A and B are shown apart, each in its own frame.
Chain A
Amino acid sequence: MLGRRVVGIGSVGLGVFLLLVGIPMNVTSNGTIIMNPALFPMVAAWLMIGLGAIQIIVGGPELAMPPLSEPVRFAIVAGLTVGAAMLFEPLGYLVVAIGLMVVVIAMIYERRPLWVATTVLAVPVGIWLFFEYLIERPLP
């Protein structure tokens, strides 16, 4: 098995990608000043290559991975959050916040009515009131 060498391979791969594609595409120098803007990104890339190589040689025991459901659910929650962020401005804060809480609470299997009500209604409304009135930072 690859074991912890995975980390090393990933690190070397990212470093090479940066040197060949990432940095040339996204960093330009106009040569007006002594230090090249690409210096720090290049240092980072070379560090990744060098350290990654050491990691490949050293190896190590297998990484302890959680059951597949965890990263999948993690990605779903992350996706929901980004989706909510995008919808704040068109739909309004309260609607989206309550919607987000409904989906999240469904995902984490809370069924007790009182706690469901707290999370779905009291929390978004409370936060909205806090921002809107107490500290006067208007939300969409």
Chain B
Amino acid sequence: MDTATILAGISDAFTLWNLMFIVLGVTVGQIIGAIPGLNILMALAIAIPLTYSLDTLAAIAFLISVNKGGTVGGAVPAILINTPGTPESAATTFDGYPMAQKGQPMKAMKYSLYYSVFGDTWSDIVLITVSAPLALVALKMGPIEILALMVLAFSVITGLVGESMVKGLIAAALGFLVASVGIDPGQGTPRFTFGYLTLYDGLPLTALAVGMLAVCEIFQRLAQQVRGMPAAAAAPTRSADIADRTVTFKELLANKWVAFRAALIGTLIGAIPGLGSATAGFLSYSITKQSAKDPEAFGTGDPRGIAASEAANSAVVGANLIPMLTLGIPGNIAAALLVSALMIHGVQPGPLLFEQQGQLIYGLFGAMLIANLANLGVGQVGMRFWAFVVSAPNTVIYPAALLLCVTGVYISAGGVMGLVVMVGAAILGYVMRLLGLSIIAFIVAFVLAGQLESALLKTMLITGGDYMQILHHPIAMALLVLSVISIIVLGRRRPTLGRKPGAAAAA
């Protein structure tokens, strides 16, 4: 790739026309991301037809901006009303919401915005500079390595299980069970589908996550409303103290290692196709919590928690394009929609992309960096707007949020069936809350179980049951050793198995 092409490409991004679409895209993404029940996929699906008549660069810049805006927007309701706008920002509720409840909603949103943009920018730079070699490394992650990675993820994430390890694991077992709904990955026979073909693809994650995390919270709020109680604002609005509303550069720098590690985790998870940003957020949060000297501070409004979650889930966005642009393999469904959009515009992502469309790709890179800045700017305005919205009384916010969830899930997750799943998940979530079973352990197990099962199956098929073959897979062995270490460290951290008082994020 010669420098002239790179420069020509990047300068292509700087037309007024493109800048306009980047800002528009970021705005659309932030709004849709912030609405519970609507997710980034929905935002992209809506945005794609808008790009039919645009030139290719403006179209792709617009779509990637929507994607980037969505990850920022998702954190807003997570912080303000404890209902994550998108599944990937679920880990942001752990510390974002408590911080907002302490009277610092603006501060929490600013932390979230800044770390999100940091993670995003970092992974964009990785994408721009070392995507080709990184993609080759990611290719080395075959089923056996993914299996080992899943084992590691489970061993680390057990740190999120809440007040008691045993109950956390019970919740995880439930997640396993629910994840097995749908056709089994090997034989293709139906499991727990009760004759409904719509369940063959498994329970829709959107409906399940929105139900358990957002609708459950909304139902509970509505149920707790008592006659005669003054209807409070959904979140404390403005604190008089300026320190509660702003984040200084020093405060941001205090968590630089946390944010850096989170960005690194997000980039790696993003570069491996199929793992997803929800995994990155949870994994980063739990690693951060467990490696902290004071893990009990997490869940009480600790900025490190916000940094760990947001920098990681945003870093997935740029990194997801690594396998897509270099190999033609989309990293997740959002990237897959981008592949489709590119193909509609006559561009085929894959190994020849850089050669054939170098200028376009560098234009896209330029647009991504601009989009990060736009995210920062639009986010600044947006958070004031959202803070204003939630200053309306509870009696407006929660019913409105309910109707949005219902409508969004109806549209994006398979109609009435999606809504039934959503309400069912909300009820299950409530029962689990009452019993002190961690909802997060459930969701994480649900998200990872499918990947674990598929990786296990493929490993069995590929090795033909010869488990000694793992000796030929150094990456897998290293990951397994890491899991053993983390279990030992965790075990030492939790001497009071089963009775530890609930300092952790029970959620």
Contacts and interface: CB of A to CB of B under 8 A. Distances in A.
Do chains A and B directly touch (beta carbons under 8 Å) in the complex? yes
Contacts of B465: 34
A66 to B, nearest CB: 8
Interface string A6-34: 11001100000010001000111110111
Contacts of A6: 435
Residue among B174, B187, B223, B426 with the highest chain A CB neighbour number at 10 A: B223
Interface residues of A, number: 71
Residue among A26, A65, A69, A85 with the highest chain B CB neighbour number at 10 A: A85
A41 B416 contact: no
Residue among A22, A66, A77, A101 with the highest chain B CB neighbour number at 10 A: A77
A133 interface: no
Contacts of A139: 407, 410-411
B200 interface: no
B406 A77 contact: no
B141 interface: no
Given A82-B423, A104-B222, A26 B173 contact: no
A135 B46 contact: yes
B395 A115 contact: yes
A60 interface: yes
B186 A33 contact: yes
Interface stretch (B103-111, B259-267, B295-303, B397-405): B397-405
A51 B169 contact: yes
A77 B219 contact: yes
A58 B45 CA distance: 50
B400 A48 contact: no
Main secondary structure of the interface of B (DSSP, over half): helix
Contact of A73 (B170, B223, B394): B223
Question: What class of interface size applies to chain B in its complex with A?
Answer: 35 or more
Contact of A81 (B192, B393, B419, B498): B419
A1 interface: no
Residue among B406, B426, B437 with the highest chain A CB neighbour number at 10 A: B406
Interface stretch (B55-63, B358-366, B454-462): B454-462
A137 B46 contact: yes
Contact of B224 (A39, A44, A70, A137): A70
A11 B403 contact: no
A43 B163 CA distance: 23
Given A51-B173, A60-B164, A26 B191 contact: yes
B427 interface: yes
B291 interface: no
Interface in A116-140: 118-119, 123-124, 127, 131, 135-137, 139
B227 interface: yes
A7 B176 contact: no
B422 to A, nearest CB: 8
Contact of B166 (A37, A54, A109): A54
Contacts of B396: 110, 115, 118-119, 123
Given A89-B416, A123-B396, A124-B403, A27 B189 contact: yes
A84 B406 contact: yes
A26 B406 CA distance: 29
A81 B176 contact: no
A123 B399 contact: yes
B456 A35 contact: yes
22 contacts: A10-B435, A22-B192, A29-B189, A34-B461, A37-B187, A38-B191, A40-B449, A41-B176, A55-B498, A63-B435, A74-B222, A89-B416, A108-B395, A109-B229, A110-B393, A115-B395, A118-B392, A119-B400, A124-B403, A136-B46, A137-B411, A139-B407
Given A33-B461, A93-B407, 17 more contacts: A7-B435, A26-B194, A34-B461, A35-B456, A40-B179, A40-B180, A44-B180, A74-B427, A75-B427, A77-B223, A85-B410, A85-B419, A101-B399, A109-B228, A110-B231, A110-B393, A123-B403
Interface of A: 4, 6-7, 10-11, 18, 22, 26-30, 32-35, 37-41, 43-45, 47-48, 51-52, 54-55, 58, 60, 63, 65-66, 69-71, 73-75, 77-78, 81-82, 84-86, 88-89, 93, 97, 100-101, 104-105, 107-110, 115, 118-119, 123-124, 127, 131, 135-137, 139
